[in-house]
Structure 1
């Protein structure tokens, strides 16, 4: 039984870029790097999708949404901490 291999993001990007350039076919790249052609095609598709979002500004929008979500979560943590402290003091008096 073969073991599943993990590839680094740099390796995937390198292969996807080579596939996008098109100097070698997917089969040639697969034999050169010992990776299945389907994997290279998948990485190539992911690279194309990522490239579109990088130029459309979606990546920046996602980052801003993440920052806003973090701010909201920090506010919620603060609120829950205050409520917890209040309830601890209320039940300590009993």
Structure 2
């Protein structure tokens, strides 16, 4: 029996599988067969979704672009300074 290569699933696929598991319309074995994913993986994604679900409704929930991680104005100022140094 040959081993399958490691697969990387997109976040949208993981969410789809986890939501299907939360709905409970199909058993875990049926979901595993339908999505071609190991049942333990489905259980893990379901737990991750349930843990992170509260963050969606928290402060700034769902709006990740509200504040950039880097101060863009400071970076533009630094670029200007370096441009002046290179021109001299």
Calculate the TM-score normalised by the size of structure 1: 0.66
Give runs of aligned pairs for residues 1-94 of structure 1, distance below 5 A. Answer: 1-59=3-61, 62-64=64-66, 67-70=67-70, 72=71, 74-89=72-87, 92=88
Distance 1:16 1:77, change over 3 A: same
Note the residue ranges of structure 2 that are not aligned, 5 or more in a row: none
Structure 1 stretches of at least 4 aligned residues deviating more than 3 Å after TM superposition: 60-63
Q: Which has the larger radius of gyration?
A: 1
CA distance in 2, matches of 1:54, 1:28: 29
C-alpha RMSD of the superposition: 2.5
Report the TM-score, using the length of structure 2 for normalisation. Answer: 0.69
Q: 1:82 to 1:14 in 2, by over 3 A?
A: closer
CA displacement at 1:62 relative to structure 2:
4.8
Higher helix fraction: Structure 1 or Structure 2? 1
- Quote how far apart the aligned CAs of 1:7 are: 2.6
CA distance in 2, matches of 1:61, 1:33: 30
Q: Cα gap change, 1:81/1:53 in structure 2, threshold over 3 Å: closer, same or farther?
A: same
